[in-house]
Amino acid sequence: MLKRGVMLLFFILSISTFSMVTHAANSSEYVNQSFYGYKEPSFTSAKTNGGSEYGAQNVGVVEKRDNGWWKIETWEGPVWINLNGEERVMGDFYAYDEPSFSSKVANAGAKYGRQTFRIVDGKTDGWLKFKTWEGDKWMNPHETDSGSSKYQMPIKNPNVSSWYGSRWGTVHKGIDFSAAKGTPIMASKSGTVEFAGFGVRGQGFGGYGNAVVIRHEDGLWTLYGHMDSILTTVGAHVQQGQVIGKVGSTGDSTGNHLHFEIKNQYIGGQVDPKPYLPF
């Protein structure tokens, strides 16, 4: 009877062992770095392990894919990992320091051109972290900047009289909007006023006449030049759409208009405003 019991126990253990083997990994590899796990082979999939990283360890690899994704066995069941990132060709997008449209814009405020990027992490709302010459940055290929994080036209019924770019043998560093004297000028985006006064050469913003400069949370500044009058003060926090002055022709100007700039630094650093505005 005892012998039969021992044989039965051996049979049960053998079946259990066989069952574990058939669900075990095809190979075992040591991962010498911490890593995140994902429920699906995508950086925008939900993270496993409560969103925390796994420590360096031996992992049982069930499947490997050419794009760097491994399927491994864990105490939670099958998990997907990607140790070196996934290469992807992307382009014509803005990147940010953090996964938020309100964070600072990377690449000096300009869009990245089409090229191969290495994706290294992501979030379920579509944000992807990727490697750049500036370090790790974030982009969202499925959503666009919306609501108050966008720039709006600085005047109503805008009429462009001069675009950003080459003009009369020089570079015109903003967009001119022709308008009648006294037309309200609005903050293109919420921010803090850093200059409000008459521009003086050698002391800042020479030639702009009555001008206002606003710093925004995305790391950019907007400048409004040739105002007839200024209706804000340095240090004031202004809301998007708030009237900050009126159109005029002060400074180096030949007629009533608003000279509008977007800049990636307080002095200089002008970029083309057109991609930022809802034309």
**Residue 15 resides in a domain:** no
- Tell me: do 237 and 206 sit in the same domain: yes
Q: How far, in Å, CA of 194 to CA of 215, rounded?
A: 7
- Tell me: do 110 and 159 sit in the same domain: no
User: Which CATH number do you get for residue 155?
Assistant: 2.70.70.10
Q: Within the chain, where are the H helices? A: 2-23
- Structural domain count, the chain: 3
**Residue 6 resides in a domain:** no
- Tell me: do 155 and 224 sit in the same domain: yes
- Tell me: do 139 and 61 sit in the same domain: no
User: Which CATH number do you get for residue 115?
Assistant: 2.30.30.40
Q: Which domain holds residue 108?
A: 86-145
**Residue 203 resides in a domain:** yes
- Tell me: do 249 and 181 sit in the same domain: yes
Instruction: Walk along the chain (279 residues) and give the pLDDT tens digit of each residue.
Output: 444 443 433 333 333 333 323 334 478 899 999 999 999 999 999 999 999 999 999 999 999 988 899 999 988 899 999 999 998 888 778 888 888 776 777 887 777 888 899 999 999 888 999 999 889 999 887 655 544 458 999 999 999 999 998 877 788 999 999 999 999 999 999 889 999 999 977 777 889 999 999 999 888 999 999 999 999 999 998 988 999 999 999 999 999 999 999 998 888 888 899 888 888
- Tell me: do 76 and 104 sit in the same domain: no
